[in-house]
């Protein structure tokens, strides 16, 4: 058994920020599934939203967030996050984060920060590091972790399940005691114990066939918390990013919304600007609207993509503002200064998650949920661009404040992980087949546009697969692929069940059988809870 004061699962912006903030008070185990930079955070492009200019205001950022959230945001949370954004940005800068600055020098000799604009934002307010903001976030935070002797980083360690008093069949409240962690290199499963366990495992884009997310995004945290008995909310609100590069060899490459923020225009393959008339903000409308318009155009014309055109901007500007997108597209034979970019929507962000406060506290004492894994009420039915990295920063900060000094916990006797009669897996084809089947089923039946019939069909398919996977899980020794498969199946089922609960179309959840908003659901969150 490994004992710590804090266990942090995940090394994206949420986990790293929390770990750094509590490290002065106790020993931290930072457990992460692959190498330590691998995370959704590392691929973030657009940036972090925060009000900083006289022509902008907290009221405007709040209003934009609420409008995107389609009535389901928690206003108290929205206000707190928006108002704390400037302070959290300054903190990142103090840690060493380098945001892009303006080219021009002001009369007092300063170069201010260059601010981007994205869909649904009524002002320029997005702090960014060119078009690779997340990479710079990870660089700065990981460098700070290296300076912190109290944080021990465990790479290639996969949290399998939370250890709770309920699972150990102890009387009294259900409390989190730590986690079982699989060492992907040795194959052993170790027991990590601490008074505080912070889930910072990110989202679940890999549940869908097409996604902007890296391979680590398999919804492990939300699945683990659910199995442990924590309530999970609003999983029907999966955000599809409108513009993922469409190319046979390009695996999940995002073309940032900032491209549209700088004037990029969406067109059909025959050159028609189809967002005119679809929304007053045209190509810069919120994501749900743009993704649905693209889906509609592709279905109408039979084309397998649409185009994003920024060729009307000067080439030096495009290359300097979007150096990574320019280089990546060029690698696929597309010169974005001269040719429109072929794009399609792809699963991008999980708005729902483990029910948690702004301070990360969940219903289970000892368990925090931070970042994309959590559902705090900030995003409601649709997240505003560049509010996610911000939410992670604010929540990690609050969580570190409320957990205080980790109090000693009497963990008692915790059984070691026991493989029982499990043998080595005999047919990995079962695992890979089920992976593909779930992801395709979710894409085809539980995607941008849903119907009751498709949702019910998806539910029965996923139920069958879950039974098969459960059998496989008990019979064979765990592997990373099998653990992830078990989690994507659980998360798929949660998305479907939440979608079936909501008898309306709101924000990201669009159901052709219930096209209107239902006033009775205006304030209602869907909630799932696994009974003991
Ligand atoms: P992540 O950064 O995803 O980190 C999760 C961590 O948990 C990873 O280290 C992972 O390996 C680890 N992990 C997962 N499961 C386990 C397990 N079982 N055991 C151990 N470790 C585990 N948002 C913005 O606000 N602005 C943007 O510009 C922006 N651009 C984006 C671009 C892309 C391509 C993508 C995919 C997302 C973007 N987002 C953006 C969303 C944003 O990046 C994420 O929501 C945010 O980074 C989530 O941070 P996190 O710390 O919660 O999770
Ligand atoms: C992007 O750069 O388009 C992603 C921004 C986000 O997801 O917030």
Residue holding tokens 């919804």? 219
Over residues 56-78, the mean pLDDT reads 97
Mean pLDDT of 40-56: 97
Same domain, 107 and 232: yes
* Ligand 1 mutation pick, 64, 139, 371, 388, max ligand atoms within 8 A of CB: 388
CATH number at residue 256: 3.90.700.10
Pair of tokens at residue 419? 């493989």
Ligand 1 center from residue 371 Cα (angstroms): 8
Q: What is the CATH number of the domain that holds 435?
A: 1.20.58.100
Ligand with smallest separation from the Cα of 217: 1
Helices (H), 280-427: 287-301, 315-321, 323-331, 388-403
- For β-strands 28-31 and 6-9, DSSP reports them as parallel
Q: Which atom of ligand 2 is nearest to the CA of 384?
A: 8
Q: Which residue has the higher pLDDT, 305 or 406?
A: 305
- pLDDT of 311 reads 98
- Alpha-carbon gap, residue 233 to 250, rounded angstroms: 33
269: left (phi over 0), alpha (psi -120 to 50) or beta: alpha
Averaged over 87-96, what is the pLDDT? 97
Is residue 415 included in any domain, yes or no? no
Note whether residue 501 is domain-resident: yes
Residues 6 or more apart in contact with residue 219 via CB below 8 angstroms: 201, 203, 204, 206, 207, 350, 487, 488, 490, 491
Give the pLDDT confidence score for residue 38 in this predicted structure. Answer: 98
Q: What is the mean pLDDT of the chain?
A: 94
Instruction: Report the distance separating Cα 136 and Cα 148, nearest Å.
Output: 19
Among 88, 287, 454, 459, the one annotated catalytic: 287
- 447 assigned to some structural domain: yes
- Ligand 2 pocket test, pick from 256, 322, 508 with the greatest ligand atom count within 8 Å of Cβ, gives 256
- Please state the rounded mean pLDDT for residues 403-422: 74
pLDDT over threshold 90, residue 84: yes
- CB half-sphere exposure, 412, CA atoms < 13 A: 10
The answer on pLDDT for 347 being more than 70 is yes
Q: Check whether residue 137 and residue 8 sit in a common domain.
A: yes
Among 359, 349, 354, CA closest to 381 = 349
Catalytic site includes residue 287: yes
Report the distance separating Cα 139 and Cα 274, nearest Å.
Answer: 39
SS3 content of the chain, % helix, strand, coil (to 5): 35, 15, 45
Residues 434 and 518 in one domain: yes
- Name the residue among 403, 5, 488 with its Cα closest to residue 203: 488
Region 298-319: mean pLDDT is 95
Does 143 lie in the same domain as 258? Answer: no
Single residue among 277, 311, 345 that ends a domain in this structure: 345
Strands, sheet with 2-3, edge to edge from the N-terminal-most edge strand: 2-3, 189-193, 176-183, 157-164
Q: Which helix (H) or strand (E) is 445 found in, with range?
A: helix 428-445
The DSSP bridge pattern shows strands 265-267 and 189-193 to be unpaired
Region 385-409: mean pLDDT is 88
CATH of the domain at 24: 3.50.50.60
Percentage of residues of the chain with pLDDT beyond 90? 85
Residue 354: per-residue pLDDT:
98
Q: What is the pLDDT of residue 477?
A: 81
Domain count, the chain: 3
How far CA 172 is from CA of 166, 176, 335, in Å, comes to 8, 12, 63
418 in any annotated domain: no
Mean pLDDT of 357-377: 97
- Co-location of 28 and 123 in the same domain: yes
Domain that holds residue 87: 2-236+351-403
| Of 345, 441, 400, 413, nearest in space to 20 by CA | 400
Tell me how far apart the alpha carbons of residues 371 and 30 are, in angstroms, rounded to a whole number.
15
Position 408 in a domain: no
Residue 31's pLDDT band (boundaries 50, 70, 90)? very high
Q: Ligand 1 centre and the CA of 203: distance in Å?
A: 6
Q: Quick one: pLDDT at residue 390?
A: 98
pLDDT tier, 405 (very low <50, low <70, confident <90, very high otherwise): low
Query: In sequence order, which residues have a C-beta less than 8 Å from that of residue 487 and are 6 or more positions away?
Result: 218, 219, 220, 223, 224
Do 229 and 375 have their domain in common?
Answer: yes
Question: Is the residue at 191 inside a domain?
Answer: yes
**421 located within any domain:** no
What residues line ligand 2, using a CB cutoff of 6 Å? Answer: 45-46, 256-258, 385-386, 388
Q: Are both 166 and 246 inside the same structural domain?
A: no
Whether residues 22 and 155 fall in one domain: yes
pLDDT reported for residue 107: 81
Q: Look-up: residue for tokens 């705090």?
A: 376
What is the pLDDT at residue 408?
63
**Ligand in nearest proximity to the CA of 351:** 1
Note the ligand closest to the C-alpha atom of 212.
Answer: 1
Residue 425, Cβ neighbours under 10 Å: how many? Answer: 16
pLDDT grade for 43, boundaries at 50, 70 and 90: very high
Residues 457 and 512 in one domain: yes
Q: How far apart are CA 165 and CA 173, in angstroms?
A: 8
- For residues 383 and 448, membership in a common domain is answered with no
- CA 68 – CA 348 distance, rounded (Å): 16
In this prediction, residue 407 carries a pLDDT of: 63
Kindly state whether residues 136 and 257 are assigned to the same domain.
no
Residue of 92, 89, 78 whose CA lies nearest to 115:
89
Looking at the structure, tell me whether residues 231 and 311 fall in a common domain: no
The span from the CA of 528 to the CA of 483, in Å, is: 21
- Whether 413 is in a domain gets the answer no
The answer, yes or no, to whether residue 406 has pLDDT greater than 60, is: no
pLDDT at 419 (0 to 100): 75
pLDDT higher than 90, residue 224: yes
Position 439 pLDDT exceeds 90: yes
Of the given ranges (170-184, 248-262, 405-419), which has the lowest mean pLDDT? Answer: 405-419
pLDDT at 532 over 70: no
- Residues 6 or more apart in contact with residue 205 via CB below 8 angstroms: 40, 211, 212, 213, 217, 252, 346, 347, 348, 349, 350
Backbone CA torsion sign across 33, 35, 38, 42: positive
């Amino acid at each position: 058994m490994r004992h710590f004061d804090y266990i942090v699962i995940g090394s994206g912006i949420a986990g790293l920020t929390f770990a750094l903030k509590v490290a002065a008070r106790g020993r931290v185990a930072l457990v992460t599934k692959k190498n330590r930079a691998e995370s959704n955070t590392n691929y973030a492009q657009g940036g972090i939203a925060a009000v900083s200019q006289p022509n902008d205001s907290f009221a405007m950022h709040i209003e934009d967030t609420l409008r995107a959230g389609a009535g389901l945001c928690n206003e108290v949370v929205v206000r707190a996050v928006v108002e704390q954004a400037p302070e959290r940005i300054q903190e990142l800068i103090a840690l060493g984060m380098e945001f892009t600055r303006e080219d021009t020098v002001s009369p007092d000799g300063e170069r201010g920060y260059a601010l981007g604009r994205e869909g649904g934002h009524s002002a320029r307010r997005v702090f960014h590091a060119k078009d690779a903001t997340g990479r710079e976030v990870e660089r700065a935070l990981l460098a700070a972790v290296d300076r912190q002797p109290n944080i021990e980083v465990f790479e290639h360690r996969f949290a399998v399940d939370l250890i709770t008093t309920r699972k150990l069949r102890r009387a009294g409240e259900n409390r989190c005691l730590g986690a079982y962690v699989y060492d992907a290199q040795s194959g052993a499963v170790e027991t990590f114990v601490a008074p505080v366990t912070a889930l910072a495992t990110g989202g679940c884009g890999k549940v869908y066939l097409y996604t902007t997310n890296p391979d680590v995004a398999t919804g492990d945290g939300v699945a683990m918390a659910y199995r442990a008995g924590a309530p999970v909310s609003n999983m029907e609100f999966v955000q599809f990013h409108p513009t993922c590069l469409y190319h046979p060899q390009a695996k999940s490459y995002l073309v940032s919304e900032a491209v549209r923020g700088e004037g990029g225009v969406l067109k059909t393959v025959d050159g028609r600007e189809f967002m005119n008339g679809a929304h007053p903000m045209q190509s810069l409308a919120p994501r749900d609207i743009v993704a649905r318009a693209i889906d509609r155009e592709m279905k109408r014309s039979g084309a397998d993509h649409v185009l994003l055109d920024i060729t009307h901007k000067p080439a030096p500007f495009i290359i300097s503002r979007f150096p990574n997108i320019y280089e990546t597209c060029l690698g696929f034979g597309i010169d974005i200064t001269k040719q429109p970019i072929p794009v399609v929507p792809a699963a991008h962000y999980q708005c729902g998650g483990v029910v948690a406060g702004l301070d990360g506290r969940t219903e289970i004492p000892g368990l925090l949920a931070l970042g994309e894994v959590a559902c705090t009420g900030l995003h409601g039915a649709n997240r505003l661009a560049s509010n996610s990295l911000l939410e992670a920063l604010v929540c990690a900060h609050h969580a570190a404040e409320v957990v205080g000094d980790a109090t000693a916990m009497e963990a008692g006797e915790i059984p070691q992980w026991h493989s029982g009669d499990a043998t080595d897996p005999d047919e990995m084809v079962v695992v890979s087949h089920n992976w593909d089947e779930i992801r395709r089923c979710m894409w085809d039946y539980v995607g941008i546009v849903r119907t009751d019939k498709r949702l019910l069909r998806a539910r029965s398919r996923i139920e069958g697969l879950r039974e098969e996977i459960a059998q496989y899980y008990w019979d064979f020794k765990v592997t990373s692929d099998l653990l992830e498969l078990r989690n994507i199946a659980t998360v798929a089922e949660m998305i479907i069940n939440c979608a079936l609960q909501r008898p309306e179309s709101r924000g990201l959840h669009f159901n052709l059988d219930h096209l209107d908003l239902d006033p009775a659901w205006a304030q209602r969150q869907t909630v799932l809870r696994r009974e003991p």
